[in-house]
Amino acid sequence: MNRFLRMTAVVLAAAFAFLLAGCGGSSASTSFTWFVDNIPANLDPQVATKAEDVIACENLYGGLVRRNASGELVPDLCERWEISSDGLTYTFYLKSGLTYTGTKGAATDYAITAEDFVYAFRRVFDPQTASPYAVEFSAIQNSAAVLDGTADPGTLGVSAIGELTLVFRLSERDDTFLSKLTLPGAMPCDEAFFESTRGTYGLSSTSTLSSGSFYIYNWTASGLFLHRSAASPLVNNLRLVQNTSNTDKSAAQLIADEKCSAALDDTAEATSLQSVEYSDTTWALLFNASEGSVFAVASLRQALAGIALQNLSVPSSGLFTEVTGLVPDGLTVDGIDYRDAAGDLLPTIPDAKALYMQARQGMASSDFNGVTILLPQGSGLTETVEQINGAWQKDCSLFFSVEEVPQEEFDARLASGKYTIALAPIRAEGGSVHQMLQQFAGDNNLTGLTDPLYAGTLSESIQRTGTARCQLLRDCERQLLEGCTVVPLAAQQKRLLVADGVEGLVFDPFTPVLDLTYTTKN
């Protein structure tokens, strides 16, 4: 099932170290406070990358389409759209009479027109903008040539027909193009206003215009405060501030004390609160396979991996669940559920003990001197490591010492390759499958094994979209796991605890998406 639809049945909130709280504003029942690591600093939608900036942009700006509380794509600033039969031409018809809103809801003379979207996309593909959204819209006609400076921006496949009709022409079909139009980079930008800010666009309240349902009420060192005129129970105040007074409280405590209406939780503490579970982290055994290492031998890695998997028992703490690959459930690639598309990729080693005996031919016991299993303190997986270590001792007469070290030391040793076996959390930063797999490519990859075929396939995936990109990433994951330099053991669960009475928050824990357009509080 699509993660987005699955999660919107309950209130949803961010997968970063943020909390969502209800307080402040003209009506406490219709306000949210979102605790961020840093106060939003850049509200230029074409360049916003940090989570707090992206979340602010999602609520401050309107786009052609938006996801509603059920996760469906619906018209936002447009009335309707048409898609050609070959999927290469998208035509949008904008609503008439739309204008941008200034600070504190001030009316402006800046009308929202099709040209504003044309200008926004030219900014995305302007090399000087360095927009992170260029890769998402690479299917747009002539985008690569415009981006590298070999074609005039006027040749980009985005054009306006009058004030209210916008046309996109694609060079290749992209079935996820509509969903990508919800990204901040696709939000309109008025060229005249942009030029008037003289390089400060989106950096202060006076150099920012709203095209969405919220507008800037105040923006100070204390936080970003957004407001809209909306009747209760719709949320009409969004406060993006830092948590400075409740850092010692658990998520459940914050909700019970009515300090917040939802909070991120990474414990297995029993609670009656609503919860939304997800994962962006897989704990995996890593074998240092660099040249000269005892684990440079693939058959040895495969044998030990097979024995480990046969004797694995996922902890019952509630923090961990079983895996079917390195990439955890719920991550998407161009809107496609990656795990559903890739299937089960865990390697099957039919007779691991026989394979081990074969791999040991020509090897001496002294070759294993100094081999240890490294893991960070507080992982919650010490018992799992001891279980696997015991199986290796029983089936292979091998016993390795276990080193539990502080997180900082663990990270440094993993990055420098100063380990033989490690149990490590492999994270998909920003929910990116490509980024997760990239950690095992190139000269500085975590296992030290350089594989040109793997690196080449991973690089090629960047140039593709949709199903084709999924297939290339699947090939990379399969190749990685069959070689057993990486052996996935368990997915670490995270959850959002949610108070009763909150509905309609549109969220994706990885993109990030946190859209309060349809959110209500009772």
Quote the number of domains for the chain: 2
Between 499 and 408, the higher pLDDT residue: 408
As a whole number of angstroms, the distance between CA 420 and CA 287 comes to: 6
pLDDT of 298 over the 80 cut: yes
| Lookup: tokens for 474 | 């699947």
User: Is residue 418 one of the residues assigned to a domain?
Assistant: yes
Judge whether 115 lies within some domain. yes
pLDDT in tens, 500-511: 788 888 877 777
298, part of any domain: yes
Position 229 in a domain: no
Of 159, 191, 223, the residue that ends a domain is 191
Cis status of the peptide bond prior to 233, with omega within 30 of 0: yes
Share of the chain above pLDDT 70, in %: 94
Q: Are residues 316 and 440 in the same domain?
A: yes
Q: Indicate if 140 and 284 belong to the same structural domain.
A: no
Task: Single out the residue of 365, 352, 338 nearest to residue 484, CA to CA.
Answer: 352
What does the pLDDT look like over 205-241, one tens digit per residue?
999 999 999 999 999 999 999 999 988 899 999 989 8
At residue 472, φ and ψ (nearest 5 deg) are: -65, -40
Please provide the DSSP assignment of 301-370 as one string: HHHHHHHHHHT----SSSSEE--SSSSPTT-EETTEEHHHHH-------TTHHHHHHHHTTT--GGGGTT
Average pLDDT over residues 239-251: 84
371 and 474 in a single domain? The answer is yes
Q: What is the spatial distance between Cα 228 and Cα 386, in angstroms, rounded to a whole number?
A: 56
Cα–Cα distance for residue pair 236/26, rounded to 1 Å: 9
- Which of 73-82, 329-338, 448-457 shows the lowest mean pLDDT across its residues? 329-338
Which pLDDT belongs to residue 1?
A: 36
Give the span between the Cα atoms of 237 and 33, in whole angstroms.
Answer: 8
pLDDT value at residue 5: 34
- The two three-digit tokens of residue 438, written as one number: 């990239």
Q: Which domain holds residue 349?
A: 278-495
pLDDT in tens, 152-174: 999 999 999 999 999 999 999 88
Q: What rounded mean pLDDT belongs to the chain?
A: 89
List Cβ neighbours of 218 (8 Å cut-off, separation of 6 or more): 205, 224, 225
Q: How far is CA 187 from the centre of its chain?
A: 20
Q: Are residues 480 and 340 in the same domain?
A: yes
Report pLDDT for 183: 94
> How is residue 133 written in tokens?
């959204």
Residue 3 has pLDDT above 70, yes or no: no
Residues 314 and 448 in one domain: yes
- Whether 69 is in a domain gets the answer yes
Is residue 29 one of the residues assigned to a domain? no
Name the least confident of 250-259, 362-371, 450-459. 250-259
- In this predicted model, what pLDDT tens digit does every residue of 63-72 receive, in sequence order? 999 999 888 9
According to the model, what pLDDT value does residue 21 have? 36
- 422 and 295 in a single domain? The answer is yes
* pLDDT for 27 beyond 80: no
Q: pLDDT at position 433, please?
A: 94
Residue 68 sits in the same domain as residue 183:
yes
Q: What's the pLDDT score for residue 327?
A: 96
CATH number of the structural domain spanning residue 103: 3.90.76.10
Cα 158 → chain centroid? 27
Q: 299 and 156: one domain?
A: no
Long-range CB contacts (within 8 A, 24+) of 384-389:
384/312, 384/313, 384/314, 384/315, 384/423, 384/489, 384/490, 385/423, 387/311, 387/312, 387/313, 388/285, 388/307, 388/308, 388/311, 388/312
DSSP string covering 76-114, please? SSEEEEEE-TTS-EEEEEEPTT-EEE-GGG-EEEEE--H
Position 121 in a domain: yes
232 is a domain residue: no
Task: Look up residue 308 and give its amino acid.
Answer: A
CATH number assigned to the domain comprising residue 405: 3.10.105.10
Same domain for 293 and 167: no
What confidence tens digit (pLDDT) does each residue in 185-194 have? 999 999 999 9
Q: What single string gives the DSSP state of each residue in 252-287?
A: HHHHHTTS-SEEEE-S-----SEEEEEEEEEEEEEE
Residue 448 sits in the same domain as residue 349:
yes
Last residue of a domain, one of 124, 157, 191: 191
Residue 206 DSSP SS3: helix
Residues 295 and 183 in one domain: no
CA angle, 197 then 202 then 203, to 5°: 90
pLDDT at 8 over 90: no
Q: What is the DSSP code (8-state) at residue 170?
A: B
Cβ atoms within 10 Å of 490's Cβ, excluding its own: 24
* Residues 287 and 163 both lie in one domain: no
Give the separation between CA 372 and CA 401, rounded to whole angstroms: 5
Work out the number of other CB atoms within 10 angstroms of the CB of residue 341: 16
Q: Sorting pLDDT into bands at 50, 70 and 90, what band is 12?
A: very low
Pairing of strands 486-498, 320-321: antiparallel
SS3 414: helix
Centroid of chain to Cα 481: 22
**Contact status, residue 237 vs residue 25, Cβ threshold 8 Å:** yes
Assess contact for 189 and 45: CB atoms under 8 A.
yes
